[in-house]
Amino acid sequence: MKVLEWVDHANILIGKFVSYLVWIGMAIIVVEVIGRYVFNSPSVWAPGYTQRTFAAYFILIGAITLIQGGHVRVDLLLNTRFPRWNALADLMNFSILVLWTGAMTYEAWYLFIDAWEFNEVDDSALRHPMWPVNLALLVGVACIAVQGMVGILRSLVLLVFPDAHIKPVTIKLGGAS
């Protein structure tokens, strides 16, 4: 089960690294607000970079959010006293998640390749390249898909061995995990 822990650690590392994008996005917003309201000189670039920064942040922290159990779910049927039922419910949820993120990864790959090969740009005045956004989408959904596969494996083990101790790695905020 070391592979499962390795995937957890890799996604936690990516999530912690990407979490700093919030500070970059906030700095862009502060610069824009000061420029707009103090100097009466709004920028052309700030809205686009703010959108890109927060879009990358939200998709790239998906896997660490999955590890923490932070995605929306209905706990009425998922947190019972029956470990095998919980494992079966998680197995179904993770299976649907992997199907969805598998399709998203497939599409994100082609979006990235097209943006890269054809030098696709957005429709803003600055004509930003689209490949960084599509790359973030590709990496983010692929990480969620891999973490979902880890969830499937854990659910299968818990379905057969309900007393097994194979929970995801716990995350210590502000320190090493």
- Which is more confident, 128 or 176? 128
Kindly report the pTM of this predicted structure.
0.85
The model's pLDDT over 38-66, given as tens digits with 9 standing for 90+, comes to 999 998 888 888 988 999 999 999 999 88
User: How much is the pLDDT for 87?
Assistant: 86
The model's pLDDT over 105-115, given as tens digits with 9 standing for 90+, comes to 999 999 999 99
Checking if the pLDDT of 77 tops 90, the result is no
Q: What is the C-alpha to C-alpha distance for residues 36 and 1, in angstroms, rounded to an integer?
A: 53
Q: Token pair of 5, please? A: 């822990």
Checking if the pLDDT of 7 tops 60, the result is yes
User: How much is the pLDDT for 176?
Assistant: 46
The model's pLDDT over 83-99, given as tens digits with 9 standing for 90+, comes to 888 888 889 989 999 99
